[in-house]
Chains A and B, each alone.
Chain A
Amino acid sequence: MRSGVLLAAAVLGLAITAARAAQDKQNFTIIERGRYLALLGDCAACHTEPGSGQAFAGGRPIETPFGTVLAPNITPDRDTGIGAWTDDEFVDALQKGVGRGGVHLYPAMPYTYYTRATREDVLAIRAYLATVAPVRHAVVSNQLPFPFDIRASMLAWNRLFFSPGRLAPTPAKSAEWNRGAYLVEGLAHCGMCHTPKNFLGGDETSQHLKGNVVQGWYAPDITDDARRGLGGWSVDDIVAYLRSGHNRIAAASGPMAEEVTRSSAQMDESDLRAIAVYLKDQPGGEEHAAPLAVDDARMRTGSAIYADECSACHTPNGGGIAGLFPALNGAPAVQSADPTSLIRVVLQGAQSAATPAAPTGPAMPQFAWLLDNAKVASVITYIRNAWGNAAPPVSIERVAAERHRLSRRAD
């Protein structure tokens, strides 16, 4: 553990520098760095209520499997924000999940990831947040039902699922890979959405980044899995996707469109490449899917529906149009283990991300009015098993359940 000790010493040294710097209210370098780090961490996404025009003033409901949590106000307002917090309190919140006065945070706040960020980086974020407009906006975060509303329960949860501490470098890997690891496992908190959760909401660490349902969407496998993950994507493909929301294969929609427009579209090129390099090095799963037979009744029906309703944009061979209509042929999103997003996109349609690099923002129309559950099941089963694709069929019941769930969602 020699390197660990050294790392701790190094962190301590940096911490002193950062603490001193943070008090310097016009330390442009640190504030600017903090702005960028807050963008990497996508703090504004949760801590700003959409449409409120009040950045970081909190109030946005965050869905969890256990109920809703409202993101708190993190502007420098002393009474309702974090203006009165000490630096250590701020660092503890991000690195230990413990807020002011020893209050346990809920892991809707990704402290399980932010704990990997260095104290220096955390304090830079703090320095930046101290400069934003203070907003007086009291938010009662805890909207959870009994027994989840008892914050002390997080003590036990943390013991089970939280491993605090910085990330030790992996010397065998490149600096770029290590930067990618620091971002993916830390501030960028990719696993928050993309890693499956157990029944208590903790990460299934054995299934790291292998896909997870969140906010009624399936955040797909982002390992190097050949079929379901990024195996068919180059580093450039991943960078283009994170930068613009689009690449030759896919289009970001749902929560990922929000992530792209608010966060990754504005990241440095070197950080996007680092993320891509790291993700490409995450091992995928075993290949065991076999396509359904072409004469399967669902495939025949699905093929006919595809020709009528889908092929005009996605093209007859599922190749799509780069930057406009996602490819289905070979696409991981189509062959995902969980079809939640596919069903949702077909039923409800989807607006793709519009970014400075790709301002078109094409949208998928909805088909809930046109295709009944059996037809939706057939056409999705078809695209999951045509053109060399292979993935389990989607049942009519699964579509029916999703249609019911969507009817109860506000979004």
Chain B
Amino acid sequence: MPRKLPGKDVVIIGLGWTGSILAHELTAAGLDVVAIERGPWRDTATDFPPSYAPDELRYRLHHELFLRPAQSTLTFRNNPSQTALPIRTWGAFMLGNGAGGAGVHWNAETWRFLPTDFTLRSHLTQRYGAAFLPEDMTIQDWGVTYDELEPYYDRFEHLCGTSGTAGNLRGVIQEGGNPFEGPRSRAYPTPAQKQPFSHTLFAQAAREMGYKPFPQPSGNLSQAYTNPLGVTLGPCTYCGFCEWFGCGNYSKASPQTTILPVLVRQPNFEARTECEVTRILLDSTGKRATGVVYADTSGEEWEQPADIVLLCAFSIFNVWLLMLSGIGERYDPQTGRGHIGRNFSHQTVSSAIGFFDRRKFNFNPFIASGAIGMCIDEFNGDNFDHSKLGFVGGGYMGQVQSNGRPMETTPVPPGTPLWGPEWKRAIRDNYLSTVFAGAGVHGSCYSYRGNYLDLDPTYRDRFGRPLLRLTMDLHENELKMSAFLTDRYAEIIQRMGATQVVKQPRKGPYSIVDYQTSHICGGAIMGSDPGSSAVNPWLQSWDVPNLFVFGMSAFPQNAGYNPTNTVAALAFRTAEAIRTQYLKNPGPLVHA
């Protein structure tokens, strides 16, 4: 029987980006807020100082910053004919843990989605007709538009100090920026990062081919920046240890470098780390959350009552907690009924390796940052005509090589032995003169009836809770898209002057082992119709109006971009709605 604690105005489950944003916005509104975080507290100087943050073995290979599967994991299968097994080492995606969440180990690519991404089904249906979409593709409109989200994209970019070149300033296309982006109200707060040689070369080749290359928007800052909260970030040193690592230089935007220093000074904020929420409590009507139950490291269970419950865990853990707490109807792929677990999606990443003449090209790949890169957006979303291509979706592509870390930067031409002196020689010969961007093509992944989350019938965690089960496969639409995009990408790499280009389009079946991105989404999707979504356009549960569910779990499908800016913008938008609407009149913000 959990011991009951004094009530709070707000309990936040998970202190990553969304938890930190909400905690700051709501403590500023005078509410008493407690955040319950499964992992440890983390600070820059004590947890990832520059003296050991760039340790590839420790962080990249041994996954030190991530959740340990022994504490919490999920099971996986490609389709219902298989038996799902628990994941014991993270592969296809990484799951953050601790204060700052995935905001500690992200690469800091800070993209906005395209305006048409938010109205995807209506847009594609209108342009190509309903029959153009595969029968089992379950993409939806978001219930929020780009224009509605724009002020909040702006807020997050100015919180982070994002470095970039505007492409569309209040409707006017800007030279050097992304001409396909939606109109932005302000320029980026800091100029784009400097670009290394191969990245510049990619831009030149792309320009020669008629594309409009632009620098990737980066949360690794080009210069020191003090955000509106008064928190200062430093300039990036281009060390190339961003994704999978914490930044020791205070130069990668993270909750630690943007919000937490201010948040921890608020007397009405409290964080309880190393505490795992096991379920959300409902009252007898099932229509109201009364708080959460969590367990500390001693195994003691505590009940934290609260008037508002904010579910800010990583996407799949949001879905899992909803299922374990009996909130909403679980999705059944047979009948199509229920929304909790529906429309799981990920990403369709591919690349092409370009080998260059080492006597002419020295790329010094170690000079880089997580979000460095020159990109083009001609093949993203519906920026190009799909009518003759037989697929929908797309992605940005670019020379976005984010590091030259020696253990993973091992480009060798096909035919090289997998080990031994010849392999070593090939690496030596190619290390400095290869374009080797793991995610050169950042493709979308749309949602399907058969890709979903539910509870595993066999495997349970240490609390006796059934593990989450992921059923996921790649569909023909994404495979066609990946082949097409990878071909276009390879053409540019070729144009750069490569002597050999090795295409690596994404191939099925979906692999749970090969890392793509950590952008797993869906499962508690947003929408304007309770008949087809779990949360309303304010991320408020249709079933339990004092519960809000943040993060990528709300994405009805995944666009061809990195998600963090959209996740944060949605969080800022909901924070404002809670402050200005919900607190005055607690209840549904949208009446179904």
* Chain B, Cβ-Cβ closest to A371: B51
- Report the minimum CB–CB distance from A257 to chain B (whole Å): 14
Nearest-CB distance from B299 to chain A (Å)?
27
Say whether B230 faces chain A, with CB atoms less than 8 Å apart.
yes
In the assembled complex, the CB of B190 is this many whole angstroms from the nearest CB of chain A, namely 14
Q: Is there a chain A Cβ closer than 8 Å to B28's Cβ?
A: no
B2 within 8 A of A: no
Closest partner residue, chain A, to B237 (CB atom): A312
Asked if B317 is an interface residue, CB under 8 A from chain A, the answer is no
Contact A325 B49 (CB under 8 A): no
A312 touches B239 (CB 8 A): yes
B91 at the interface (CB under 8 A from A): no
Interface status of B508 (Cβ within 8 A of chain A):
no
User: Which chain A residues border B119 with CB–CB below 8 Å?
Assistant: none
CB distance from B323 to the nearest CB of A (A): 39
Number of interface residues of B (CB under 8 A): 25
Given contacts A313-B249, A365-B49, are A323 and B44 in contact (CB under 8 A)? no
Contact B50 A362 (CB under 8 A): no
Among B226, B234, B235, the most chain A Cβ lie within 10 Å of the Cβ of B234
Nearest opposing residue in chain A for B258, CB measure: A360
Which residues in A have some Cβ–Cβ distance to B below 8 Å?
309, 312-313, 321-325, 349, 351, 354, 356-367, 370
B224 within 8 A of A: yes
Nearest Cβ on chain B to A304's Cβ, whole angstroms: 15
Contact A313 B261 (CB under 8 A): no
Distance between B535 CB and nearest chain A CB, rounded to angstroms: 33
- Residue pair A360, B51 in contact (C-beta under 8 Å): no
Give Cα distance in the complex from A357 to B248, angstroms. 23
* Sampled A-B contacts (27; CB under 8 Å): A312-B237, A312-B239, A312-B249, A313-B248, A321-B234, A323-B224, A323-B232, A324-B232, A324-B234, A349-B49, A356-B230, A359-B229, A359-B230, A359-B231, A359-B262, A359-B265, A360-B232, A360-B250, A360-B261, A362-B44, A363-B43, A363-B44, A363-B45, A363-B46, A365-B51, A370-B51, A370-B52
Identify which of A309, A313, A325, A354 contacts B265 (C-beta below 8 A). A354
List the A residue with the shortest CB-CB distance to B48: A365
Residue of B nearest to A361 (CB): B261
Are A324 and B224 within 8 A (Cβ)? yes
**Apart from the given pairs A359-B262, A362-B45, 6 other A-B contacts in the complex at a CB distance below 8 Å:** A321-B224, A356-B230, A360-B231, A360-B250, A363-B44, A366-B49
Contacts of B237 on A, CB cut-off 8 Å?
312
In-complex Cβ contact of B248 among A349, A351, A365 (8 A):
A365
- Chain B contact residues, majority secondary structure: loop
CB proximity to A under 8 Å, residues B225-250:
226, 229-235, 237, 239, 248-250
Residues from chain B with Cβ under 8 Å of A313 in the complex: 50, 234, 248-250
Which residue among A321, A364, A367 has the maximum number of chain B CB atoms within 10 Å of its CB? A321
Would A358 and B50 count as touching, CB distance under 8 A? Answer: no
Contact B45 A367 (CB under 8 A): no
CB-CB nearest in chain A for B45: A363
A135 to B71 Cα, complex, angstroms: 46
Q: How far is the CA of A367 from the CA of B230 in the complex (A)?
A: 29
Q: A309-B51, A365-B46, A365-B51 are in contact. Are A321 and B235 (CB under 8 A)?
A: yes
CB distance from B67 to the nearest CB of A (A): 24
Q: Whose C-beta in chain A lies nearest to the C-beta of B49?
A: A365
CA distance A364 to B51 in the complex (A): 11
A322 to B224, CA, bound (A): 8
Collect the chain B residues with CB atoms within 8 Å of residue A366's CB. 49
Bound complex: CA A362 to CA B44 (Å): 8
Complex: A354 Cα to B43 Cα, angstroms: 14
Across the two chains, which residue of chain B brings its CB closest to A369?
Answer: B51
Nearest CB in chain B: distance from A359 CB, A: 5
The reply to whether A354 and B261 contact each other, CB–CB distance below 8 Å, is yes
**How many angstroms from the CA of A6 to the CA of B535 in the assembled complex?**
78
B residues 28-59 touching A (CB-CB < 8 Å):
43-46, 49-52
Tell me if A365 and B224 are in contact (CB < 8 A): no
The complex places the Cα of A143 from the Cα of B541 at a distance, in Å, of 61
Task: Tell me if A364 and B226 are in contact (CB < 8 A).
Answer: no
Whether B231 and A312, one on each chain, are in contact in the complex, defined by CB atoms closer than 8 angstroms, is no
The residue from B51, B229, B230, B234 contacting A325, defined by CB atoms under 8 A apart: B234
A358 touches B230 (CB 8 A): yes
Known: A312-B237, A362-B250. A349 touches B224 (CB 8 A): no
Shortest CB-to-CB span from B460 to chain A, Å, is 40
Looking across the interface, which residue of chain A has its beta carbon closest to that of B263? A359
Q: Is the CB of B230 within 8 A of A360?
A: yes
Return the 3 tightest CB-CB contacts between A and B, nearest first.
A365-B49, A363-B45, A365-B45
Tell which of B49, B224, B250 has the most Cβ of chain A within 10 Å. Answer: B49
User: Bound state CA distance, A350 and B261, in angstroms?
Assistant: 16
Q: Could you say which residues of chain B place their CB within 8 Å of the CB of A364?
A: 45
Smallest CB gap from A364: residue in B:
B45
Residue in A closest to B235 when the chains form the complex, CB atoms: A321
Contact of B261 among A321, A359, A370 (CB under 8 A): A359
> In whole angstroms, what is the CA distance A309 to B262 when docked?
28
Contact residues of B between 247 and 297, Cβ < 8 Å to A:
248-250, 261-262, 265
Complex-state Cα separation, A367 to B45, whole angstroms:
11
Distance to closest chain B CB from A253 (angstroms): 11
**Hey, which chain A residues are within 8 Å of B44, CB to CB?**
362-363
Which residues on the A side are within 8 Å of B43 (C-beta)?
363
Q: Is B231 within 8 A of A309, CB to CB?
A: no
CB of A244 to closest CB in B, whole Å: 9
- CB < 8 Å: which of B50, B226, B261 contacts A312? B50
Please, how many angstroms separate the alpha-carbon atoms of A363 and B261 in the complex? 11
In the complex, the chain A residue whose C-beta lies closest to that of B54 is A312
A117 to chain B, nearest CB (A): 31
B370 to chain A, nearest CB (A): 15
Query: Within the complex, what minimum Cβ distance (angstroms) separates B225 from chain A?
Result: 10
Distance, CA A325 to CA B237, complexed state (A)? 14
Determine if B230 and A357 form an interchain contact, defined as CB atoms under 8 angstroms apart. Answer: yes
Cβ of A362: which chain B residues have Cβ within 8 Å of it?
A: 44-45, 232, 250
A89 to B262, CA, bound (A): 43
Chain B stretch 182-209: residues in CB contact (< 8 A) with chain A: none
Q: Which residues of B contact A358 (CB under 8 A)?
A: 230, 232
B55 to chain A, nearest CB (A): 12
**Chain A positions within 8 Å of B51 at CB level:** 309, 365, 367, 370
Residues of B contacting A370 in the complex (Cβ-Cβ under 8 angstroms): 51-52
In the bound complex, CA of A365 to CA of B229 (Å)? 24
Q: Say how far A329's CB is from chain B's closest CB, in angstroms.
A: 16
